[in-house]
Amino acid sequence: MLHALRSRVGTLSVRLPALDDGWLGCAMTLDLEDLRLGVYSALASTGRAPAPGDLAAALGVSGDDVATGLRQLAAARHLALDADGHVVLAHPFATIDLGFSVKGSHTLWWGGCVWDSFAIPHLVPDEPEVLVATTCQGCGRPHAWVVNREAAPAGDQVAHFLVPAAHLWDDVVRSCSNQRVFCDDDCLTAWLEREGLKRGYATELATVWRLASGWYAGRLDRGYIRRESSAAHAYLRDAGLSGAFWGL
């Protein structure tokens, strides 16, 4: 998401103990890009984050090394972890229910938010079309759309982003859980008043679809680099977003 530093994931040096008397130990390196791809590829294909033990076995390192690597990836804003170090978000994938389910032909995901949910079919090659389902925060009414790569889904619902772009990563799980869809502006206004919250940024589904369509491009590829601020701002403008809320 926004305000992420340009970050090539690097390497983490670790020391492994000797296996026998003839081997006194050697320095091994955990490639953080291998770790990042291990998390993302598992979520893309199964909808679930890989177990730390499975990552450690696949990468030939210890569980402690994996835990340290995940913390480094989180610090670089490639992941969000809970208090126990488990992956909660690897955008656009979530490992907990944040209000959106995304059903493909082969996989069922939790979408991190409306933005992320609409992004999944653009990112996962084998799932060009998905069913995104949620409920209105204001009245609880269910909503669902078929989302694909060709055109924005039909619907006159209102998407609302509560947290300004500059503060998305202050508490990224809260930020994502408050990027929701409402039946209409009346439902949105009633919810804001009930929760004692200030209005953020409201827009139509077509704008969210444009935002989602290419935002995560390349995230499943080796060597992925986050956008610089200027490129991110240009992308947002092209998607139809504007104003101080988006840092524009």
User: In CATH, what number is assigned to the domain containing residue 76?
Assistant: 1.10.10.10
Mark whether 58 and 169 lie in a shared domain: no
Q: Could you tell me the two tokens for 237?
A: 């403008």
State the CATH number of the domain containing residue 102. 3.30.450.410
Residue 214 exposure: Cα atoms within 13 Å on the Cβ side: 10
Range of the structural domain that residue 44 is part of? 29-90
Same domain assignment for residues 152 and 54: no
The widest CA-to-CA distance across the chain, in whole angstroms, is 73
Strands (DSSP E) along 172-211, which ranges? 179-182, 201-204
Give the 3-state secondary structure of residue 112: coil
Q: For every one of its 248 residues, what pLDDT tens digit does the chain have, with 9 covering 90 and above?
A: 443 333 334 444 333 333 333 323 333 478 999 999 999 999 999 999 999 999 999 999 999 999 999 999 999 999 999 999 999 999 999 999 999 999 999 999 999 999 999 999 999 999 999 999 999 999 999 999 999 999 999 999 999 999 999 999 999 999 999 999 999 999 999 999 999 999 999 999 999 999 999 999 999 999 999 899 999 999 999 999 999 999 98
Q: Is residue 217 part of a domain?
A: yes
Tokens 């809260």, residue located: 174
Helix (H/G/I), strand (E/B), else coil: 44: helix
